[in-house]
Every structure is written in structure tokens, then in C-alpha cells.
């Protein structure tokens, strides 16, 4: 039995990861400051004797004994990470330093939840891992994008300087149950709006694209990456490469919910990337990983969740 630390474990992805790791027979320590995550996501795990919850902010040092670290702590929705941008950068940078320091002291491997946002508003399409990105360093998204880029730098410097075993995973838009109804990201916004028959808010003209991965597929990939051979450090893209416009997503959600909602167009936020689609050939080749849940099936599961809460 391994003792595994999941930072950000009360959030959307973290809660699914904790649950899966417990099911696989591990002991899980979830660290979260509840900035965007909530106890409701992990309530069902609290009675499990192999699950432990620590309320802690990763920008402060943490001295515990574990065998592996998944570092997910960081708000992920633009609305939330821009709410306190200084704290967002601190979480990515100081959080990475502390978790890397912990991994270094314990000589254990550590996985970083990085993001497709390191590619910024990409001029290369689809995005491969060797693309260096197109990020505005002083814009409203920079606290997140540059914070995550700095965290990647730290991971690779600890790898080179201290021979740490690292796994850097670049996650593309992922959705599913346990997203907060007020999360602010597009899939949860559209589903909540459709279920309430209120206007669906499309920012810009809806022609911008994203590729949406269902959470179960992503968690499969994350655990497979963690368990891959030592020389596989990444960075590794993970996401579903099927690309949709935001308008197509809105129409799919309206159809699947039988909603009366109308579409309302609102201004496009500054620096909002126009297109995004992962090239996942590296993950396919090294991990034999391939997402299997297509958008309609994943949306139905997510709609079912939002109806139940």
C-alpha cells in the first residue's frame, strides 16, 4: 500500500483522483485550502480510514511522510484564478517549490498538473509538446499561464539539479461531475444555464475552439503517467483531441438538456485563446493511452450530475 499526497484534492480533478487512488488500494492524504474546492466533493471519502484530509495552503511548507505526490493545487477557472491573481502565482510557484522540496527530502516522485495554457493563444495547431507557446506575460491570464510555466521550469530544474523523478502533465480542458456550479468554466456554465432555462452566455462569436476531455479518461492518463518509467518526465499533453467551437458546444448542451434557453453573445475576455487542440501522439505512444468517452456521452453524465445536486 502506497501513501499518496494529492494537493488540491478537494477540487474537481483532485476529488476524482483521490477516489480512484483509494479504489486501487492506496492510502490518500488530501491537502486543500478550500479556495475553489469543497468538502462536498470528498464527503463520501471522509469515513474511509485510508483517507486523510489536511486543510493547508501549499504556499506554506508542509512536512509529512508520503510515497508519491500529485500536485494539483491551483484554481483552474479563469474567473477564480483572476479573482486573486497574486495568490494564483504564489500557489503555482511557492506551491511547486514546497512540494518539490518535500519530494526532494523524501526522494519520491512528483507529478505536476500543468496546463494547455502554457501554450497561451497558440499559433501552432494542434499543439505538440515541443511548441513553446504564445503567452502575454502581463495580461489578466498571466498569473495562471506564467505561474504554471514557472512551475514547469522548477520541475525541470529540480530534475536536472537534484535528480528528482518528475512527471509534468499538460492538461487540456476537462469536464465532468464535481465541477462547482459556479466554477465559471464553459461546460459547467452552459449546463447550469440550460437546466435553469436561462440564457446561454457565449463570449465572443462562439467560433473559438476547445477540445473537451471527460474526467475519467483524464484520471486514467494521469495515473498511467505517474506509474510510467522514470525516464518519462514529460511534458506530456493529455486531453481529448476532438475539437469543437463554443457555439457547437452550446447547441449540444441545449439539445441534450431539452432546454428552452436562448443563446446570448457577450464580449470576449482579453487574451482568450482562439483555438486549442492537443496533439496526444506522445501519450498514445508512451502510455498506450487514448480517451474513449466522446462529448455527447460525457455531457450526458455531467448533466445527470448537475441535475442531482
Distance in angstroms (rounded) separating the CA atoms of residues 168 and 212: 20
Which residues, other chains included, contact 256 with Cβ-Cβ below 8 Å and sequence gap of 6+?
296, 299, 300, 303
Site string for ligand NAD, 60-89 (x = CB under 6 A): ------------xxxxx-------------
Active site residue 159: no
Closest Cα partner for 101 from 71, 144, 146? 71
On whether the CB atoms of residues 252 and 261 are closer than 8 A, the answer is no
Q: Of 46-54, 156-164, 171-179, 281-289, which segment contacts ligand NAD by CB under 6 A?
A: 171-179
Taking the alpha carbons at both ends of the chain, their separation in whole angstroms is: 33
Which CB atom, from 104 or from 125, has the smaller least distance to ligand UDP? Answer: 104
Give the one entry of ligand UDP, ligand NAD, none that residue 78 binds, where binding means its C-beta sits below a cut-off of 5 to 8 angstroms depending on kind. ligand UDP
On whether the CB atoms of residues 120 and 145 are closer than 8 A, the answer is yes
From 119, 144, 175, 214, active-site residue: 144
Do you find a cis peptide bond into 235, omega within 30 degrees of 0? yes
Q: Considering the complex, what minimum distance in angstroms separates the CB of residue 90 from ligand NAD?
A: 7
**Which letter, b or e, does each residue of 118-133 get, where b requires 16 or more Cβ atoms within 10 Å of its Cβ?**
bbbbbeeebbebebeb
Distance in angstroms (rounded) separating the CA atoms of residues 289 and 281: 9
Q: Considering the complex, what minimum distance in angstroms separates the CB of residue 206 from ligand UDP?
A: 7
The crossing angle, in degrees rounded to 10, of helices 186-195 and 295-308 is 60
Closest Cα partner for 78 from 189, 215, 178, 205? 189
Give the one entry of ligand NAD, ligand UDP, none that residue 202 binds, where binding means its C-beta sits below a cut-off of 5 to 8 angstroms depending on kind. ligand UDP
Out of 16, 167, 180, 210, name the contact with ligand UDP by CB under 6 A. 210
Say whether residue 246 binds ligand UDP (CB under 6 A). yes
Say whether residue 57 binds ligand NAD (CB under 6 A). yes
Residue 19 vs residues 42, 51, 52, 158, 267: alpha-carbon distances, Å: 8, 9, 12, 29, 38
Q: Considering the complex, what minimum distance in angstroms separates the CB of residue 262 from ligand NAD?
A: 27
Give the one entry of ligand UDP, ligand NAD, none that residue 94 binds, where binding means its C-beta sits below a cut-off of 5 to 8 angstroms depending on kind. none
Q: Of 8-16, 25-33, 185-193, 277-285, which segment contacts ligand UDP by CB under 6 A?
A: 185-193
Give the one entry of ligand NAD, ligand UDP, none that residue 35 binds, where binding means its C-beta sits below a cut-off of 5 to 8 angstroms depending on kind. ligand NAD
Residue 296 vs residues 13, 176, 250: alpha-carbon distances, Å: 20, 12, 12
Site for ligand UDP in 74-133 (CB under 6 A): 77-78, 97-98, 101-102, 104-105
Which CB atom, from 87 or from 188, has the smaller least distance to ligand UDP? Answer: 188
Q: Considering the complex, what minimum distance in angstroms separates the CB of residue 73 from ligand NAD?
A: 4
Q: Of 30-38, 130-138, 198-206, 231-239, which segment contacts ligand UDP by CB under 6 A?
A: 198-206
Distance in angstroms (rounded) separating the CA atoms of residues 20 and 223: 9
Say whether residue 35 binds ligand NAD (CB under 6 A). yes
Which residues, other chains included, contact 122 with Cβ-Cβ below 8 Å and sequence gap of 6+?
131, 133, 134, 273, 275, 276
Q: Considering the complex, what minimum distance in angstroms separates the CB of residue 37 from ligand NAD?
A: 2
The residues of the shown chain that bind ligand UDP, judged by CB under 6 A, are 61-63, 77-78, 97-98, 101-102, 104-105, 173, 185-186, 189, 201-203, 208, 210, 246, 269, 272
Query: Residues with catalytic annotation?
Result: 144
Amino acid at each position: 500500500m502506497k501513501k499518496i499526497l494529492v494537493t488540491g484534492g478537494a477540487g474537481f480533478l483532485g476529488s476524482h483522483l483521490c477516489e480512484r487512488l483509494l479504489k486501487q488500494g492506496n492510502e490518500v492524504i488530501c491537502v486543500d485550502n478550500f479556495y475553489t474546492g469543497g468538502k462536498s466533493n470528498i464527503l463520501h471519502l471522509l469515513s474511509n480510514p485510508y483517507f486523510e484530509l489536511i486543510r493547508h495552503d501549499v504556499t506554506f511548507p508542509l512536512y509529512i511522510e508520503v510515497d508519491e505526490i500529485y500536485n494539483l493545487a491551483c484554481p483552474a477557472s479563469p474567473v477564480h484564478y483572476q479573482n486573486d491573481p497574486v495568490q494564483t502565482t504564489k500557489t503555482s510557484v511557492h506551491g511547486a517549490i514546497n512540494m518539490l522540496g518535500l519530494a526532494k527530502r523524501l526522494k519520491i516522485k512528483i507529478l505536476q498538473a500543468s496546463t494547455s495554457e502554457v501554450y497561451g493563444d497558440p499559433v501552432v495547431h494542434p499543439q505538440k509538446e515541443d511548441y513553446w507557446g504564445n503567452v502575454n506575460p502581463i495580461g489578466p491570464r498571466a498569473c495562471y499561464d506564467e505561474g504554471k510555466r514557472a512551475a514547469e521550469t522548477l520541475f525541470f530544474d529540480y530534475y536536472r539539479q537534484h535528480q528528482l523523478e518528475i512527471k509534468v502533465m499538460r492538461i487540456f480542458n476537462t469536464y465532468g461531475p464535481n465541477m462547482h456550479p459556479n466554477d465559471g468554466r464553459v461546460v459547467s456554465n452552459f449546463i447550469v444555464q440550460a437546466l435553469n432555462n436561462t440564457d446561454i452566455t457565449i463570449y465572443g462569436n462562439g467560433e473559438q475552439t476547445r477540445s473537451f476531455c471527460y474526467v475519467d479518461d483524464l484520471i486514467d492518463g494521469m495515473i498511467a503517467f505517474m506509474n510510467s518509467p522514470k525516464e518519462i518526465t514529460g511534458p506530456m499533453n493529455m486531453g481529448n483531441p476532438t475539437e469543437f467551437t463554443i457555439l457547437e458546444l452550446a447547441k449540444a448542451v441545449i439539445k441534450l438538456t431539452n432546454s428552452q434557453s436562448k443563446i446570448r453573445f457577450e464580449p470576449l475576455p482579453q487574451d482568450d485563446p482562439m483555438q486549442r487542440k492537443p496533439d496526444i501522439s506522445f501519450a498514445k505512444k508512451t502510455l498506450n493511452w487514448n480517451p474513449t468517452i466522446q462529448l455527447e456521452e460525457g455531457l450526458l453524465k455531467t448533466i445527470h450530475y448537475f441535475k442531482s445536486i
